[in-house]
Structure 1
Amino acid sequence: MYTTVRYYEDEAQDVVEQIQGHEERLRELMTGIEGFVAYYLVDTGRRSLVTISVFADRSGAEESTRAATKLIGELGLGHVLPNPPKIMQGEVAVHV
Structure 2
Amino acid sequence: MYAVVRRYEGVTDPAETGRRVAEGFVPVLRQVTGFVAYYFIDAGGGVMVSTSVYEDRAGAEESVRRAAEFVRDNIASLLPNPPQVTAGEVAAAG
TM over 0.5: yes
CA distance in 1, matches of 2:66, 2:51: 14
Letter of the aligned partner of 1:32 in structure 2? Q
Moved over 6 A (4+): none
Residue of structure 1 equivalent to 2:8:
8
CA distance in 2, matches of 1:65, 1:21: 20
Where 2:7 maps in the other structure, the secondary structure is strand
Residue of structure 1 equivalent to 2:69:
70
Q: How does 1:20-59 map to 2 (within 5 A)?
A: 20-22=18-20, 23-59=22-58
Residue of structure 2 equivalent to 1:80:
78
Q: How much identity, in percent, do the aligned residues show?
A: 40
Specify every segment of 5 or more residues in structure 2 that has no aligned partner in the other structure, as ranges.
none
> Is 1:95 equivalent to 2:93 in the alignment?
yes
Instruction: Provide the aligned C-alpha RMSD in A.
Output: 1.1
Answer yes or no: is the 8 Å Cα contact 2:2–2:57 preserved in 1: yes
TM-score (norm 1): 0.89
Select the structure that is richer in helix.
Answer: 2
CA distance in 2, matches of 1:42, 1:95: 19
